[in-house]
Each structure stands twice: as structure tokens, then as C-alpha cells.
Structure 1
């Protein structure tokens, strides 16, 4: 069964998650949220309901081991830990044959990307809340065995494996970015150092960003575990920080010259530097970590963001060049960035 808005309710009824009486007596809202995979919310007027996700292959037959199947396995593991119940979605059902999972619809939450930046600038309270919540999540994940996972190094850290050629899977802008980074020996050396020291001892989320964080009062719920793996917890923290850094870059005047963009960015960075320091210090309250390694990983994560932004672009614009320069500085001089940005002595 390929799930659509028209048959998702039937799927829930067939698996005992919805009864026919509810279909008759209540009005259900079924909406599509499909991105990388199919996604559908099925909610009642009071906001309660389910979120259903189904694997959507790029082409050809379904993979035996899809990202949805992987997420279901991870959520099953997380559900066994009482200390994680309030910060991860509850897996209600997984259909292995149809590669579809069901979790609760989190209606009484705020999306972090909608509240992280207020009219007056970055919200320091949201930053501190996310820093502490992520540290506590990592404490809980540390107790979960993950020996059977691949522990793959994020693809962007192994940028040496990409070729600077445009084609069906890589735009001209992306190919140009790969060529530029390959030409910078210091960047490639820094990426190689991160790859050679990549840890494989702890489960991490793997795709941390504002869009995968929801706030419920003082709680933070982390969603979308498709890329969870054994790896470096600081990769998750770097993912959060790049959300602020990307927003900072996006706030610059589009179409401006590179020199103007740099000057404007410098003026607006003070508030963002404060919020990054806030995230770091509240993470460190709960969990010790290396600020220098975090900054290098932030550089790598910004390269990933830049590559993704160039998916349909023929070349790099001024904002792209600024983002590349920032990523390069973090990779090559992480100690300086830790001192200047995170106020680490």
C-alpha cells in the first residue's frame, strides 16, 4: 500500500490505531507533510492525532534497509529508556512490509525555527534551553548500545570522495564548491583530521537543526531520527549552531558585493555570537566537551549547508562566498573561533 491522504486513515484503522466510530463521529484532518519521505498528519479537532511516515524510494524497488526502517529501529531503542520519554517521539507502530511508522502528532509544541529569532534578534532563552536539552539527550543516548550501526563519517567531512564535476546529481554550483575546497590544502587537512578522529562509541541524532527541534514549555523534543548513527555528539551541537549561523548569513543583503556583505555581516554578528556562547555554556553545564573540536565541526557543517543551498545554482553568489569563507576559518582556526565566539580562555 502506497500511503496517500485518501488511504492513511484506512491504514490506521487496519492496524488498530483508529476505530471506525472515530471516523463517523469526528472530523479528521489529514494533511501531507512529505519531504524526503511521505509524511501525513491525522488529527482530531482537539489537535491530538498521529504522524505517519512512509519510505519513498528515489527510483526502482524499495531498499531493504530504508531510512524509515532505520528510524523505527532507533525509536524502538529510545522508547526503552525512561529518561528519554519526554524528549523523543513515541513510536506507536511500525509496518515493516510497507515501511511505514506511526508516532504521536505533537500538537502542543512550538517549532524552534519559528521562535529562535524574535523581532529584536536571536532569543537567548531558546538558545539556553536547546543547549541544556541537547546535553541531557546525549547523556541518555550514551547508555544505548550502538555497536551494530555503521558509525559512518558524515559525507561532507569526506569531501575528498566527491569529484568537482557537474551532472545529474551535482549542480555546477556544487561542483564549483567542491573544486574550491579541494584547492584549499588547509581545509582538506582539517577535514581529514576530523575524519581520522571520528568516534564510534555513542548514538547521536545525526541531523540536528532547528527544523528537527520542538519546544513544549521547558521541554525540547527532538524529531526525525532517520540519520541516527554512532558518532560524535558535537556533530549534533554543530548542527544546531549552524542554524543560527545560516540565519545570520541569510539576513545579509542579497545581491550585494562580497565586500559589502562582509561589512554588513560583521555589524550583525554580535547578537549571534552571544547566542552561540549561550548554547555552548548551557551545554557545558551538563556535559564536558571540546570547544575547539566543536568549532571545526561547525565549519564542516556549514560546508554541508552551503552544498545543499547550491543544489540548483549555476555558480556561487556573494552570500555563498561569505559562507564558504566562514566555514574555512572555522576549519582552519578552530581555537581562535572558540576564544572569540564561545569566550573560551
Structure 2
């Protein structure tokens, strides 16, 4: 049932993606690239390469998510601009619960790139904005979507109400993750903001719902940088602002999450380092926002309010990042505490945060 480096060749040969000649020509190799799934990069010389993704365990949620991802890729083929911002899906095997993609050679995700280069080119920000706007501006009939993607979710992200109720099996959470809910409950002003923003959620179009730099691959084609958005398994019918907010929070949490396993740093140090490092990202953030608004054809007079709404959502999305960082943690880390404090700062004064934390001019 489950694919391994040992049985992958037979599987791919049976499905017509590998031939015996590929294996014996000396240029064939299999590289395990698993994280949350069983992932493999398969290189086969002149034939290029493919990327294989299979679920880790047989459970209903994992099976549903993979099927939903396959359905989204098929839907995107009806919209060439959207499809161009995604990898090419070659095959979906419902029996093996696996997806096969065309491999994007010599690519790396944005998180890896930014950590290695410590520069934030405006060109990459523009590409990401273009990718988001090309699917955010699409209009879908909800009933038709339900028929195309039967398991498509229409729900508000769990983080808005996590302080009230846990949506995870008790034994699946670390002590730190459990304590995180207690930390949120200890901040009534923060939970009031969560309740307020919960009521503003819109169900308007398809959103990626798990947008982060890890899910954005960059590569070069004919010397020009290109970007693909990957991992669509959590796609939902929801609020466009959530995807935009996810990008904003990726910038703000960048320095804190860079060494989130280093427990020697204190919350105050992490916050100060964030404030000190943000100016090098200001131009990139501004480019992303302007390009996104242009792509969405958002009226100039509507942009300031929309920006503040997206920044408020970014504060909520950053709480997700804090929670995710506590996987396996014995307590709430200094890094998670710093992210919560930044979230509170944004929600208490979004206009001030727009200027001081994100570098927008006051007129924006």
C-alpha cells in the first residue's frame, strides 16, 4: 500500500511514468522529501523528473484532503492563469492515495530562499501577489463547486475560537499547545478581537487556506524568476483576506521563526530583533500589497480599509504559527509568546502597526 524508495520504481513503471531504460541509464535516482506526507523526488535523466506525494496514514481526513487537492488541480485547468501558478498534476491514484506532479527542477521554497539570502526582492513579492490575485478574482457558483469538489469546506478557521474549544484529539497535543489555549484565555482584550473578527468572515471564493512561504516554490525559466503555489489540500471556500493575511504574517514572523527551536532567546529579544529587521522587508511588503490590489482591480479609495482588515487577519493567522511552533513542546515557548504579543499589538492598533511594523505610509 505505502510507497517506499524500494517499491516506487515498480509503481511508477506500472503507471507509465518510468521505463526500465530510465533506471539502467545511470541517471535515475529517488530522493525522499517527506514532511507531513510521503514525498519523493524522482529524477530520470533526459526525461526530467516527477514528484510523488502520498498520505502518511490511512484515515478519512487524509484521504479526503488528497482527493480535494486533486479536484482543485483539475478545476484550475479551466483557468489558464491560475493553472500557470501551480505545478502540473500528472496523475491521481485513488487506490494508493497518491498524486504525481511534474517536478519543478532547481526550485526552493520562499522560506529557504529568504533565510539563505536574507534579501527580499520586489520581483518575488510581485510574483506572489500575481499568483494570489489570479485565483482570488475568480467567481464560482457555490453549487457547482460542491459538485466539483464535494469535500470543500466552508468554515471559519479554528484559531478564532481555539480559546473556547479545542478541535484536536486530546492526546495529539503537546503540553505547550494545551497551555497555548490557556495563554489566549488569559488575554481578554485579545479574545474580544477574535470574537469581533469571527463575525466579519466572508464566504466569497476559493482560498488556499494554508498559504505560507513553505508552500511557494521559486525557480528560473529562461533566466526569469517564476513562482508556483503548492499544497492545495486545505483549500476552502472562504475569505480572500485570509490568504493575504498569511503573507503579511509570514514577513512579520520571519525573524522569530528563523530559530524557533533556540530556547536561549527571550521574548523581549525576539520582539526587538523583529522591529530591527522589518525595515529590510518594507519595500517587498509594499510591492506585494500594491501588486495584489492592482491584480484585484481594487479601487484606490478602498485600499486603506482593506489593508487594515488584512493586517488584523494577519494577527490571527500569526496565532496559528505560534500554535504550530509548539508541536512537541513541553511549554509555551518564548517564540510563541512573542508572536502572541505581536498579534495583540496589531489588533489593538492596526493603523499604527501598518506604519511601524509593516512600513506602510500613513495615507495607506
Band of TM-score, shorter chain: 0.7 to 0.9
- Equivalent positions of 1:330-345 (< 5 A) are 330-340=346-356, 341=358, 342-343=360-361, 345=363
Unaligned stretches of 5+ in structure 1? Answer: none
Q: Distance in 1 between matches of 2:181 and 2:47?
A: 45
State the number of aligned residues: 342
Whole-angstrom CA distance in 1 between matches of 2:289 and 2:107: 24
Match of 1:154 in 2: 157
Q: In 2 relative to 1, CA 95–317 (structure 1 residues): closer, same or farther, beyond 3 Å?
A: closer
Give 1:82's aligned residue. Answer: 80
Instruction: Find the aligned partners of 2:188 and 2:265 in 1 and give their Cα distance.
Output: 29
Q: 1:313 to 1:108 in 2, by over 3 A?
A: closer
Whole-Å Cα distance in 1 between the matches of residues 247 and 129 of structure 2?
A: 9
Matched, 1:275 2:281: no
TM-score (norm 2): 0.83
TM-score, normalised to structure 1, is: 0.88
CA distance in structure 2 between the aligned counterparts of 1:165 and 1:30, rounded to whole angstroms: 35
Question: Cα distance, 1:259 vs. partner?
Answer: 3.8
Matched, 1:179 2:182: yes
Task: Give 1:302 deviation, angstroms.
Answer: 0.8
Partner of 1:201: 204
CA displacement at 1:250 relative to structure 2: 4.0
- Supply the distance in 1 between the matched residues of 2:127 and 2:319 (Cα, whole angstroms): 26
C-alpha distance in 2 between matches for 1:62 and 1:210 = 27
Query: Is the 1:79–1:90 contact (alpha carbons within 8 Å) kept by the matching residues of 2?
Result: no
Shift of 1:159: 1.5
The 2-side partners of 1:7 and 1:257 are apart by 47
Query: Separation in 1 of the partners of 2:47 and 2:352?
Result: 48
Q: In structure 2, the residue corresponding to 1:320 is in which secondary structure?
A: helix
1:71 equivalenced with 2:64 (yes/no): no
The partner residue of 2:245 within 238, 241, 245 is 238
Deviation at 1:178, TM superposition (A): 0.9
Partners in 1 of 2:169 and 2:88 — Cα distance? 42
Match for residue 327 of structure 1? Answer: 343
Which consecutive unaligned segments of at least 5 residues does structure 2 have? none
Structure 1 residue ranges (4+ consecutive) displaced by more than 6 angstroms after TM superposition: none
Look up the match of 2:90.
92
| Alignment correspondent of 1:10 | 10
In structure 1, distance between residues paired with 2:241 and 2:227? 18
Counterpart of 1:311 (choices 314, 322, 327) is 327
The residue matched to 1:113 in structure 2 has which SS? helix
Q: What is the DSSP-based 3-state SS (H/G/I as helix, E as strand, rest coil) of the residue aligned with 1:311?
A: coil
List per-residue Cα deviations over 1:168-198 (Å, max 9, x = no partner).
2222222222112123222222222332232
Range with bigger deviation, 247-256 or 295-304: 247-256
Contact preservation (8 Å) 2:30, 2:42 = yes
1:110: Cα distance to partner? 3.9
**Which of 189, 193, 199 is residue 192 of structure 2 equivalent to?**
189
What secondary structure sits across from 2:52 in the alignment? Answer: strand
CA deviation vs aligned residue, 1:218-275 (integer Å, no higher than 9, x gap)? 4321111111111112211222222222222246896344444444433333223443
Greater shift in the superposed pair: 12-21 or 295-304: 12-21
Deviation at 1:50, TM superposition (A): 1.0
Q: State the Cα distance separating 1:301 from its structure 2 match.
A: 1.1
Residue 111 of structure 1 aligns with which residue? 109
Aligned partners of 1:190 and 1:20: how far apart in 2? 60
How far apart, CA to CA, are the structure 2 residues paired with 1:263 and 1:91?
A: 43
Q: Counterparts of 1:256 and 1:21 in 2: how far apart (Å)?
A: 53
CA distance in 1 between partners of 2:293 and 2:314 (Å): 17
